Structure 1
Amino acid sequence: MRTKIDTDSFGFLFNDIARITRGVFAREIEASRLPVTAAEARVMAHMARSGPTRQHLLAESLGMTPMSLTGFLDRLEAAGLVAREADPKDRRAKIVTLSPKAAGTLAQIAQAGERTEQLISNGLCPEDWQTFLKTARQLRAHIDGPRGAASKAEDTV
């Protein structure tokens, strides 16, 4: 028996958009000759969004395992871009923060992100793009909802 799968369904569309966007972003990071990879840039951008936070929560927000994140953080820490300290509330947990040295790299990451957005939104009228962003934000808030808010309040320093 063969089942027809709608490859234009929400799940497929968002996965495809995310995958393609990551590729465009990676090319923009490479073109910028930044001292970080695209994956490390994503880690830093999420850190900038969340502020000092527990390492396991950062991994969760990136959709990766804590062990995978550890490798990225090791390299970023060696470059002086992040710091990890024991959480005073639970010494087994690590709090990760961006260092002051990260500011210049973050500015360049933001520029690469802006160029990425320009490239992927090319061909859409500005009103359609803004409507898409508004709808995507509403979806994120609805899906993440109370779980995300409770998690952030509990574990963000």
Structure 2
Amino acid sequence: MPPRSDSDNVGFLVADVTRLLRAEMDRRITAAGLELNPGDARTLSHAARCGSVRQNLLAERIGVEAMTVSSSLDRLEVLGLIERQADSVDRRAKLVHVTQAGEAMLESMQPLAAGLGAEAAKGIAPADWQRFLDTLKHVRANLTAARDQLRKENAAA
């Protein structure tokens, strides 16, 4: 009999929680009647988190194809929530900037995210929740460092 996969390992647990959080946030964005579809809201949130960022790096950060993020940015630009400007280092590249209107939209989404966070933390002591968040940040830092080290080694090869 082939070995069974452990559905409670860290990868499955993080993926399941991520899927559930994303689906619920998408539902809340839709229910709130914002001008954005959930994918565009994610793109706007990531753009704000990254600051001035190239489109291709934003796509990588979100985990989608460059064409997907480009379409989303087109819609966000029409709504006046982002601007794209030529990169002074590489004129072929575009930098994404969140506008004041985009910042206002993000502020209107903040209560939705806060409510979801409160729902996720229900029944968990505040100190335990904070320790959980701190642990996730540490895991993220470990994985980012490992990825960066591998890229560095591959570039040297």
TM-score normalised according to structure 2 size: 0.89
Q: How does 1:5-154 map to 2 (within 5 A)?
A: 5-145=5-145, 147=148
List runs of 5+ in structure 1 lacking aligned partners.
151-157
Report the Cα distance in structure 2 between the residues aligned to 1:125 and 1:29, rounded to whole angstroms.
27
SS in 2 for 1:5: coil
Which runs of structure 1 show a deviation greater than 6 angstroms over 4 or more consecutive aligned residues?
A: none
Query: Deviation of residue 4 (structure 1)?
Result: 1.1
List runs of 5+ in structure 2 lacking aligned partners.
152-157
- Please list the CA deviations of residues 121-144 of structure 1 after superposition, one character each: whole Å capped at 9, or x if unmatched: 112121211111010001011111
Over aligned residues, Cα RMSD in angstroms?
1.7
Report the Cα distance in structure 1 between the residues aligned to 2:85 and 2:43, rounded to whole angstroms.
17
Report the Cα distance in structure 2 between the residues aligned to 1:5 and 1:17, rounded to whole angstroms.
18
Query: Deviation of residue 113 (structure 1)?
Result: 1.1
Q: Is the 8 A contact 1:26 1:38 kept in 2?
A: yes
Which residue identity is paired with 1:81? L
Deviates more, 1:25-34 or 1:71-80: 25-34
Q: Is the 8 A contact 1:28 1:115 kept in 2?
A: no
SS in 2 for 1:91: coil
Query: Deviation of residue 145 (structure 1)?
Result: 2.3
Report the Cα distance in structure 1 between the residues aligned to 2:112 and 2:17, rounded to whole angstroms.
17
Report the Cα distance in structure 2 between the residues aligned to 1:53 and 1:63, rounded to whole angstroms.
15
Report the Cα distance in structure 1 between the residues aligned to 2:121 and 2:30, rounded to whole angstroms.
20
Which residue identity is paired with 1:45? S
Q: Is the 8 A contact 1:76 1:82 kept in 2?
A: yes
Report the Cα distance in structure 1 between the residues aligned to 2:103 and 2:116, rounded to whole angstroms.
20
Report the Cα distance in structure 2 between the residues aligned to 1:27 and 1:114, rounded to whole angstroms.
14
Report the Cα distance in structure 2 between the residues aligned to 1:34 and 1:42, rounded to whole angstroms.
13
- Please list the CA deviations of residues 6-51 of structure 1 after superposition, one character each: whole Å capped at 9, or x if unmatched: 0101110000000000011112212222111222111111111111
Report the Cα distance in structure 2 between the residues aligned to 1:115 and 1:108, rounded to whole angstroms.
12
TM-score normalised according to structure 1 size: 0.89
Deviates more, 1:11-20 or 1:102-111: 102-111
Which residue identity is paired with 1:143? L
